[in-house]
Structure formats: C-alpha cells, structure tokens
Structure 1
C-alpha cells in the first residue's frame, strides 16, 4: 500500500507543508527565545511520531518542537503528574481520552477551547465530546479514534447459513444457532478482563457514567443503559450461548485460529490484532456495523483512542495549540500519522485519506473496509470520562470475574463498580452529587 500511494502522498505532504510554512505564527511567540523562536516540548508514545514532528519543524522554523518518546497508558499520566508537581511538565502530551479528567483535576492541562475552536468541526461530535468537560471546556485535540464494529468469519457464516445480525436480538439468536449447528463453536466470548471493551458497548447503548456541573460530579456507572448491556451479556453467558474466556490469552488466540470463536465485536484496530494473533485466518474475516439495540438505529461506541493535550504550565500555549491542531487535522500531518504511526485518525477528512483507500491486508477481500469504517466512526456516541477511570476499570475486572465464576447476575457487578467509583472520588475530595 505504501508503494502504491507513495507518489500521491508526496504531493499531499508538499502541499500541506507549504501551507504550514506560510501560516501566521505571530500569536505564538509568548515566551519565545531570542530571535522570536518558540521552543516546545512534546511527550508522546505513538510509533514513528518523530517523522510528523520533523515535518513540522522543517516547515516552521519559528516554532520548534522537541519530542520525548514515552511509554503510553498510565505510565505517561504518572510522569505528567510528577512533572507538573515539580513545575517542569512538557508543553504538550499525547493522552488517552479516559485519562484527560485525571490530568485536568490535577491542574496539569489547560482549557484550550478558544484556541481549538477553528478545528472543532473537523471532528465528529462524539469524538470531540471526549476532549470536553463541562459545557464548553476543551482540554485536547483528538488524534486517533477507536470506533467499534462487528468482525466475523465470513467463511464460517456461509458454512453455517448465518446472516450478519443487525440487532442485538438477532445477535443473541445467531449465538444460539451457532451452538446448535456446531456445538464446539461459539459466536464470540464475554471478557471479564477488558473494561474498555465493555465501556464501548455501554456507550453504544447510551450510557453516561460521569458528568460534571461546576465543581460537582454526577456518577452513574450503573445507569439503565449499562445495566441493560450487562444483563444482556450475562444472560448469554448463563445459557451457554457464548463463551466466557478472557481475550488476549493463548487460549483466545487458539480459538480464533481454529474457528472455535467466529466473531468479535471490536474496534477499528482489530485487523492488526487478528493478523498478529490469528494469522491462519487471513482473508476469511469481514467487517460490518455493530448490531443495534433497536432496528433502524445507527450508533456505535468507542474502544481506545488518544489526543494531544496542552499543559497549563506551558508558556507558549498558542503555539502549542497551533502545533496540536496541525498534527491532528492538517492533511499533510495526518497522512504521516497514518503512514508512519499506523493510527486511525480522528479527523473526518483524514479518514478519507488516499492511504486508506485500500483495505487492511488481513481484510483484502473487503474493498470498502475504510469507506464503511468512516461511516461507522461518524455514529460513535459521545462520552464524558471521569477522574478515576482506573478505579472503575479495576473494579470491573474483579466484579465481573467474580460474577462469571459465581454465576451471579452481571448487573450486580455494575453496582459494585458504581459503589467503588463513588467511594474513591469522595475519598479523594471530589464533590459527588447524591
């Protein structure tokens, strides 16, 4: 794919970088070095993101960005908290969406709503909501997204005479049919070790776990939508219609490879996982929109994704936002992120990049893979994250694991998540509405 689009990419990059060279940077010289040069520091973990930073620096000699590669996930959050407390955080950092409120509540990130406003419309509403807290405070620019979709073994569906389920009711019936026609197989599994997966399913159903009004947090991890999702999957596990083994284990890999598991509700990045963990099934999978809770609906949730935040202590916020907006919304930059960092961009236009015209190699038979993915991404539900996602997620693993082994209702596990999340927030001084 790189060879095929190499020439076209060069044209796109040249045009974009030329535009970047001529862009006005006069509002970004606060705290500039002698001679008017602004120096920015940037922490990130995306592979080869240095290529994108180098392109910016080549085109913007007055705003120089120095990259420091970091470990992702909770590691970078811990380091940012420590650096901010010591008074020396970077100007920008790559941050997962669910980590933003933790950094905001510790005064690490700046509200960039005014500076970021020009690029807001370049992102789907659901994605933009993930960088927004309260009514209008914005703390980052979206970088990549993880819209969820339905992956299935097309060959097994044909062999068993199955149709792709369009609703969750049809999904449940399909799961039962698989067990009847092929008792050694399961449609899919419920994983008690993947809270992000479950959160995406809950988002699609309309869940809203956190909300903030002024200084007061509303917490509803056990809202009606989430309990509906929990009861649905708990019921399928209880009747044996689906498997209950965790994902990302050798046993799970084997089940994907040998056809014991023939479907996986997952996210846009799933082809890479399947290629690495189920190589024997290359070319046998297909992708479709997620089943819906009501016929005719068109919604999905998200599993994963990150953003670029600007720190509150930085002296060059205008310049930092300019770089973050360019990196995540400019065609030249997003082309580099796709090509070099293998991300699925959050920006709408980037999802139609020439680099995304061919399907992933693992899905070579589905020529419309990225066209369909773009349409699905537009339907992702918004979601407000809270300041202690780690507590909710850790409790999920424990509570759902116990529910599976103890054969108790999954709705009880959701109640346990709610209790633990609220207690932790109150313990740490957050005001939580009763």
Structure 2
C-alpha cells in the first residue's frame, strides 16, 4: 500500500495533540537572490497542502520569492514528469517523489534532478540513514528526505485480552503465530490481514526487517535467497494456519479493522490517522507494539512508504529552489506543522526530541506511540528499490498468490520468480 492513499486520513492526527512549543527553529537559509523570483512546486493531497505552509513560512524571510504550489493526483505528477523530462519542457522547480519511484526516474532520466550533496551536507546526519541511502546514486545525493513510514504492529487490546494473549510476550513471529492461534480459537477472528492476491506490502516489510529486498545492494534480484524464502515462507505459514484475512481492497481492510474481523495489522505509521478518522468509537481499544522479530533479539524495524522533495535541473532558479526545499525539510516550525496538522511523520530526526513525541495518545490507550515510531524509524535498514521495482512487484504478487491461494511449493515458486525477474530486467 502506498502512503499517498492515506495522507488525507492522517489529518485527524492533529486532534490528539496539545500542541507543544516548536522549540528553537533552525537558522534560516540565506536567499540566493534579491530580485522578484518565482518557483513552482508539484505535489499531491495533504503533502501539497503542507507545502503551502512551508511556502508561507519561507516568504517571511524571502519576500521577493513567489512560490506556487500545484496540487494534483500522484499519478498525474508522475505522468507529467515523465513527459516533461522526455521533452525538457513544462517541468516544475520542485517536486515530491515517493521512495519507490526515485530510482526509476533517475535511471530513465539521469540528468533530471539536481545534485544537492553540498546543500544537504550540513544536515545529512540529521536525516534517517535509510532515506539518505535511497537518495544517493554514485556518491551524490539527489533530494531532501521528507516523510518516513516506520512500521509497527497495531493490535486490538480487547481481542487480545479475550484470547489470553499478552502483547509483551510476542517477541518473535513464531510467538505471533501461536498468539494468532489463540485468537482464532477464542474469538473466531483472524489475526492478520494480507492482500495475498493483490499487494505484497507485508512481504516487503518482512524483507526490510531481514535487511534485504527484491534486489541486493548491486541491483541483482535475490528473490530465492534464504531471507526471501523466510519472508514468503512466514506468509505462507500464517495463511496455512488459518490466521489470515484476505483483504482484496483498501475498503475491505478498513471494514475488517473497524468491525473486529482482524486482531492486528502490521502497517506504517500513517495507519494511525486511518484508525482514528474512520473508527473513533474504538478509542482506547487499540494498542501499538513493535513488529515481532524473526529470532529473539532480531531486528523489529521496517517501513512501508515515504517520500522526498526534489529539485529539477530544468529549474531556471535552481539555487532558490534548492534553498526552499532545504528549508521546508529542515525548519523545525514547518516540519512540526507538517507532522501535527497533516500527519506527515518526519525523516528529520532533531524533531524527535520535541515534546510532542513524548506525549501519550489517549486514543491508543495512553501509549507514547510517536516515541515508539521515532525509535523504529532510526533503525530501519536501507532499501534498494532500483528502477525495476514496479515490474518486479507485479511478479511477486503473483508468486504470493501461488504459494497461498493455490498451495504451490514455496522453493519452486520462488526459484521460478527469480528466473522471471532475471529475464525481465535483462
């Protein structure tokens, strides 16, 4: 699932906060020009709305800079960028790009984005390492990290209690499976939703936990590796044990979450807003814990989503565009507004020391959920999406359906998948 689908739901997150002071702002970046200048920014949904706030804040110290934020659908942004990069016409100065789309664009259009290595150098260590690595190609950094999507396990406190399941005792995925059996037996509910025939989000989360992905660091597919077999094997095991609710759409997932058909959901931080917005009657019945590890003491951190702010080389005001993008991603007041009012979880780690991250959430049983997500975010292993992510994902989803719905042999299926991807990306 992609972050863009849920940004609007995240708006309600702001309702839970007693706004903390913004703390000391970052120093304002200096304006590269003193004459009237205009830059255009493309983004979508809630992200675009938050960039309008960034533009207003930037203009306080740069009154000669006009910033036009153009809001459009995510696919429209990508379609227009593709046409624009091909013709070198009609391009914005600044644009939002999701983590899983960046490598595809820069592979097709190597000169598309501005090298911001120097501009980000003073702040590089303040961003999540996993985000910086994704934006780095041949030692150069091509964007400013924006929102992160650390994953955790959302769970129904009341359903767990009814089944005699204690969340603090779930340390590994084996523990989780045993807990799931108790839930199914005691309540008749399913333990976990997985879109076994339409999306592989859980598989990618599990791969990320294991420090791998579809591809290794050199871009070679590793879909029949030991780690990949572990990840897909876990999904198959949970399905075969009768723990899985097969949701075939976002609406069916929301319905199942709302009516108690499922006891837990391993998802990104953006699901906080979805739960609070669409099921307020469940206040106090949801808890959040770290994802289980594959072995005791193993990694529990993963992510599912995220985006960045890029500057195009086509910009006629590149210095100003870079200055604005850096400001938007590093100014504390702006970033806190993006988080509190628009639900965009920051990649800029100095914000994690702000008091809002230490406040309990009344909705989530007074847990300090933002601290939990901040701690997870700092531990997320990097992901190498490569320019073949989209086409490979389609093949992975088909393989997942074969091993679960059709009961195909795991090793055989993953070997076939490996060959398919190798052939596809030749």
* TM > 0.5 fold call: yes
Indicate if the aligned counterparts of 1:5 and 1:354 stay in contact, CA closer than 8 A.
no
TM-score by length of 2: 0.86
Greater RCO between the two (CA within 8 Å, min separation 6)?
2
- Find the counterpart in structure 1 of residue 161 from structure 2: 158
Separation in 2 of the partners of 1:2 and 1:254?
23
- Find the counterpart in structure 2 of residue 172 from structure 1: 177
| 1:23-422 equivalent positions in 2, closer than 5 A | 23-25=29-31, 28-29=32-33, 36-47=35-46, 48-49=49-50, 50-72=52-74, 74-88=75-89, 89-107=91-109, 108-134=112-138, 136-164=139-167, 165-182=170-187, 184-192=188-196, 193-210=198-215, 217-240=219-242, 242-246=243-247, 248-360=249-361, 362-363=363-364, 365-422=365-422
TM-score by length of 1: 0.84
RMSD: 2.6
Q: What are the Cα deviations for residues 391-434 of structure 1, in whole angstroms up to 9, with x where unaligned?
A: 122223333234332111455554455444433333xxxxxxxx
For the structure 1 residues 320 and 288, does the alpha-carbon distance in structure 2 shift closer, same or farther, using more than 3 Å as the test? Answer: same
Q: CA deviation at 1:285?
A: 0.8
For the structure 1 residues 4 and 337, does the alpha-carbon distance in structure 2 shift closer, same or farther, using more than 3 Å as the test? Answer: closer
- Find the counterpart in structure 2 of residue 431 from structure 1: none
Q: How many residues align?
A: 404
SS in 1 for 2:185: helix
Separation in 1 of the partners of 2:412 and 2:18?
51
Q: CA deviation at 1:2?
A: 6.0
- Find the counterpart in structure 2 of residue 8 from structure 1: 21
Separation in 1 of the partners of 2:281 and 2:412?
39
Q: CA deviation at 1:356?
A: 4.1
Separation in 1 of the partners of 2:154 and 2:129?
25
SS in 1 for 2:165: coil
Indicate if the aligned counterparts of 1:257 and 1:280 stay in contact, CA closer than 8 A.
no
For the structure 1 residues 220 and 109, does the alpha-carbon distance in structure 2 shift closer, same or farther, using more than 3 Å as the test? Answer: farther
Moved over 6 A (4+): none
For the structure 1 residues 298 and 212, does the alpha-carbon distance in structure 2 shift closer, same or farther, using more than 3 Å as the test? Answer: closer
Indicate if the aligned counterparts of 1:127 and 1:380 stay in contact, CA closer than 8 A.
no
For the structure 1 residues 7 and 244, does the alpha-carbon distance in structure 2 shift closer, same or farther, using more than 3 Å as the test? Answer: closer
Separation in 2 of the partners of 1:140 and 1:314?
14
Indicate if the aligned counterparts of 1:207 and 1:224 stay in contact, CA closer than 8 A.
no
Separation in 2 of the partners of 1:6 and 1:239?
45
